[in-house]
Amino acid sequence: MSNKLSPWWWIPTLYFAEGIPYFIVNVISVTMFKRLGMPNGDLAMYTSLLYLPWVIKPLWSPFVDVIRSKRWWILMMQALCTAGFAALALSVSPDAFGASLIIFYVIAFASATHDIAADGFYMLALDEKRQAAFVGIRSTFYRIASVFGQGVIVVLAGLLEERLGAIPRAWSVTLLACAVLFALVTLWHWRFLPKVESATGVIPAEEPESPAAGDETSRILKEFGQAWVTFFKKPGVWLAIAFMLLYRLPEAFSVKMLTPFLLDPQEAGGLGLTTAQSGLVYGTVGVIALTVGGILGGLYAARKGLRRSMWPMSMALALPCAVYLLLAVVQPASLWSIYLCVAADQFGYGFGFTAYMLYMMQFSEGKFKTSHYAICTAFMALSMMIPGLFAGWMQEALGYVGFFIVVMICCLATVCVTFFARQRCSS
C-alpha cells in the first residue's frame, strides 16, 4: 500500500480503534461487573487495577520502537483485542469473574501497546504540516469512540438485557458484536494502513540482530534511561508529581462509583436507573458535556494563559462533584434532573482538565519532551488508579451520601496543589 494514500483513509479509524478498547476496559468493565453482581468494594479495586498497563507503558515503549514496525504492532494489537473481546463474550458469568478479569488485563496491555504504536505511526506517516492539520481529526474520532464505548455499547447491552431477560447472555452478545466490529477495523487497517517504515532500525523476528539494529537498540535504550534520569532532575519535579497525583483527587474517587450509584436501587442509596438509561446519562450526555467543556477550556486557556486559568479551572473541576452529593440526598425520580446534574459535572471536569493537560505539557518542555510527557501520562493514570482501589470499600462503609461528602472534602487537595503549582507556571 502506497504511503501516498490520503490520511483520511486511516486516521479516523485508527483513533477510533485506539479509544474503543480503552473505554471497554476502564468503563464498560465497571458496568458489566456491576450488572453481574460484583460488590462495589471488589468492583472498584479490580477495575482500578486495569489502569496499570497505562501506568507502566513507558517501560516497554522503547521496544515497540525497535522490534518490528509500528504498523505490525498496530495490526497485532488490534487482532489481540479482537480475540480478547471474543474470549470475554464466552467468559461472561457471575461465577467466572476471575477469567473475565484476566482477559480484561490482556486487552488492557494490548490497548496500551497499541497507543504507543499508533501515536508513533502518526508521527512517522505524516510530515509536521499534516500532523498539525489532522490533530483535531484524531481527537474528534477518539471522542466518538468515547461516546460509542461508554454510551452506545452500554445502551445496546441494556436493551438486550430487557429483550433477552438474561444479563450474562446480553453482555455476551454485546461483546461478540464488539469483537466483530474490531475484526472489521483490523482488516481495514491491514488493507489501508500505509507502509511507511523501512527495515532500518527494526529487528526482524526471523533473522539474527544486525550490528546496525543493535546500535539502534542501544541508542534508544540509552535515551530512554536519560529521559527518566533527567525527568527526576527537573526543577520542581516533586511538586509536579504531587500536582499530577492530587489535582483530580475528587474525580478519581468518584469515577468508579458513578456507574454503581446510577444502577443501585434507591433503597441501597442509588438512583435505580436501568443499564440503558445509565449509558445514555453518563456515556452519552456526560461525554458530550465533557467534550464541550474541554473545547471551551482550551479556548479560555489560550486567551488567558495557564497561570491565570488555573484557579477557575481547578474550581470547575472540583466543585461540580457536589451534584452527586445532591443526587444522593434527594434521589430524584426525574431522569432529566439526573441528566442535568451529570452534564454539569462532566462539563466542569472537561473545562478543568484542560489546565491539567497544559501543565503536563509545560512541565515536559525540554530535550526529552516526548518521553517526559509519556512519564507524565503514567502519573496521570496512577492518579486515577490509586484512589479507585479504595473507593468501593469506602462507599460500602459510608453509604453514598457519606462517600460523596468525602469526595467534596478531597476538593481541598485540588485547591492546595493548584496554589503551589500555579506559582511555578511560566504563563
Q: What is the DSSP string of 245-272?
A: HHTTHHHHHHHHHHHHHHHS-GGGTS--
Cβ-count burial 283-307 (b if 16+ within 10 Å, e if not): bbbbbbbbbebbeebeebbeeeebb
Amino acid at 407: V
Amino acid at 360: M
Q: Which three cell numbers stand for residue 358?
A: 497544559
pLDDT at 153: 94
DSSP helix/strand/coil, 176 = helix
Together in a domain, 254 and 398: yes
Q: List residues bridging with 203 in a β-sheet.
A: 67
Q: Which of 18, 40, 205, 26 is nearest to 117 (CA)?
A: 18
Contact of 103 with 84, CB cutoff 8 Å: yes
Together in a domain, 302 and 425: yes
Together in a domain, 158 and 238: no
Together in a domain, 325 and 187: no
Together in a domain, 9 and 133: yes
Q: Which three cell numbers stand for residue 220?
A: 534508544
Together in a domain, 243 and 151: no
Q: Which stretches of 264-321 are DSSP H helices?
A: 275-280, 286-304, 306-318
Q: Which three cell numbers stand for residue 50?
A: 486495569
Q: Which of 18, 32, 25 is nearest to 102 (CA)?
A: 25
Q: What is the CATH number of the domain that holds 313?
A: 1.20.1250.20
Together in a domain, 113 and 184: yes
pLDDT at 213: 55
DSSP string, 14-49: HHHHHHHHHHIIIIIHHHHHHHTT--HHHHHHHHHG
pLDDT at 200: 43
Final residue of a structural domain among 168, 196, 224: 196
Together in a domain, 247 and 156: no
216 belongs to a structural domain = no
Contact of 382 with 243, CB cutoff 8 Å: no
206 belongs to a structural domain = no
pLDDT tens across the length of the chain (427 residues): 445 678 899 999 999 999 999 999 998 999 999 999 999 999 999 999 999 999 998 888 888 877 888 999 999 999 999 999 999 999 998 888 899 999 999 999 999 999 989 988 888 888 777 877 787 788 888 888 988 988 899 999 999 999 998 999 999 999 999 999 999 999 999 999 998 875 444 444 444 444 455 666 677 778 788 888 999 999 999 999 999 999 999 999 999 999 999 999 999 999 999 999 999 998 888 889 988 998 898 889 888 888 888 999 999 999 999 999 999 999 998 899 999 999 999 999 999 998 998 899 889 888 888 788 889 989 999 999 999 999 999 999 999 999 999 999 999 999 999 999 988 776 6
226 belongs to a structural domain = no
pLDDT at 123: 81
Find the domain containing 39 and state its range. Answer: 1-196
The span from the CA of 31 to the CA of 283, in Å, is 11
Together in a domain, 122 and 50: yes
Which positions ≥6 away from 112 have C-beta within 8 Å?
53, 54, 57
* Burial bucket for residue 129 (CB in 10 Å: 0-12, 13-18, 19+): exposed
Specify the pTM.
0.86
286 belongs to a structural domain = yes
Q: Sign of dihedral through CA atoms 6, 8, 9, 11?
A: positive
224 belongs to a structural domain = no
* Burial bucket for residue 367 (CB in 10 Å: 0-12, 13-18, 19+): exposed
The 3-state DSSP composition of the chain as helix, strand, coil percent (nearest 5) reads 85, 0, 15
Together in a domain, 247 and 327: yes
pLDDT at 198: 59
H/E run at residue 3: none
342 belongs to a structural domain = yes
Together in a domain, 249 and 331: yes
Contact of 306 with 355, CB cutoff 8 Å: yes
183 belongs to a structural domain = yes
Contact of 137 with 11, CB cutoff 8 Å: yes
Return the axis-axis angle of helices 237-246 and 335-364, rounded to nearest 10°: 170
Total tally of structural domains belonging to the chain: 2
Which positions ≥6 away from 286 have C-beta within 8 Å?
150, 342, 343, 345, 346
pLDDT at 35: 93
Final residue of a structural domain among 147, 168, 196: 196
116 belongs to a structural domain = yes
Cβ-count burial 317-330 (b if 16+ within 10 Å, e if not): bbbbbbbbbebbee
Together in a domain, 180 and 279: no
